[in-house]
Amino acid sequence: MSKPRIVFMGTPDFAVAILDKLVKSDSNIVGVITAPDKPAGRGRKLHESAVKVYAMEHGLKIMQPTNLKDPNFIEELEGLHPELQIVVAFRMLPKAVWDMPKLGTFNLHASLLPQYRGAAPINWAIINGEQETGVTTFFIDDKIDTGAILIQKKTNISEEDTAGTLHDKLMHLGADLVLETINKLENKEIAPSKQQENRPLKEAHKIHKETCEIDWNQDITSIYNFIRGLSPFPTAWTTLHNGEDDLFLKIYSAKMDLEPRQLKVGTVAATKNELKVAVKGGYINLLEIQLPGKRKMTTKEVLNGLKLAENAYVG
């Protein structure tokens, strides 16, 4: 039996791992659709998506439509005669696109749907203190992340996981799941199931810089989860009020010190090697931070060059 003609759609690194798995499994990739090149950096040079770079390296046909409803794009896509389409971290598709292949169009989402629909499921699972998450393949329909579920795979979230480590864990789990989904769709071994919405649903809306500011009035566990749920990107931040200087401070990693707190919430306490913030339930011990115009450093490195005022505080 000939392998189905697959069109793959995706943009970031997360999608590259899945595409790589398909290529190495000798899947029949007839086309790759990714985002148009965008100006980036100080020189505003055109930046190619991670998926485009990979596709070029492997000689795959690339399409970069600005408008997914453009008749010329639809005609070019039809000309590829796709039998199955796979979507990983891409845009919302019009029906003319997702309804085209005979085997359907399925998406890989980095959560256990229907929980954490939206753009940032990995971040929000950690921020909310979840102990379990996973990946889901589902048929695309005319809404966002609501289609019939094909297969799900679960994994644990450790107390040390960050958005970065969980991203990689789900990326590899998702690559295996996509292959399994393709095989079962080919062999008609999947019975798609409607998403169950008869429970409170947690959303995974897009995260913006202004919503990454730490609220030091929260309890110690919530703050710790917030920091690791935004690390290494887009990164939790705060303002360090150091005497007459106000410094924008990115925080990449921290740990909880569950010791009796003597200082007012938000007060900064420093030793030669440690920088801690008093919070409800103890102290948040900052481990990796970044000051404006500097590289990411350990707290010890920062303290070697930063004179901390006695009344320093954050918030």
User: Are the C-beta atoms of 134 and 172 separated by less than 8 Å?
Assistant: no
Q: Which two tokens stand for residue 140?
A: 């695309």
CA-CA distance, 165 to 109, in Å (whole number)? 17
Residue 116's closest CA among 138, 86, 101, 95? 138
CA-CA distance, 55 to 20, in Å (whole number)? 9
Q: Is the pLDDT of residue 288 over 70?
A: yes
| Residue intervals in the chain for CATH 3.40.50.170 | 6-187
Is the domain covering 6-187 a CATH 3.40.50.170 domain? yes
Lowest-confidence range among 214-218, 244-248, 253-257? Answer: 244-248
* Bind-site residues: 111-114
State how far the alpha carbon of 84 is from the alpha carbons of 109, 137, 142, 156, 282, in Å.
17, 13, 17, 31, 53
Average pLDDT (83-110) is 97
Q: Is the pLDDT of residue 238 over 80?
A: yes
Is the domain covering 209-314 a CATH 3.10.25.10 domain? yes
CA-CA distance, 217 to 238, in Å (whole number)? 13
* Bind-site residues for (6S)-5,6,7,8-tetrahydrofolate: 111-114
In terms of DSSP H, where are the helices of 121-240?
A: 121-127, 163-186, 220-229
**Per-residue pLDDT band at 1 (split at 50, 70, 90):** low
Average pLDDT (150-162) is 98
Q: Is the pLDDT of residue 170 over 70?
A: yes
The CB-based long-range contact list for 184-188 (8 Å cut-off, 24+ gap) reads 184/150, 184/151, 185/84, 185/103, 185/104, 185/106, 185/150, 186/1, 186/4, 186/103
Average pLDDT (271-284) is 92
CA-CA distance, 39 to 42, in Å (whole number)? 9
Q: Apex CA 267: angle with CA 264 and CA 270, to 5°?
A: 130
Tell me the β-bridge partners of 251.
236, 289
Average pLDDT (121-125) is 98
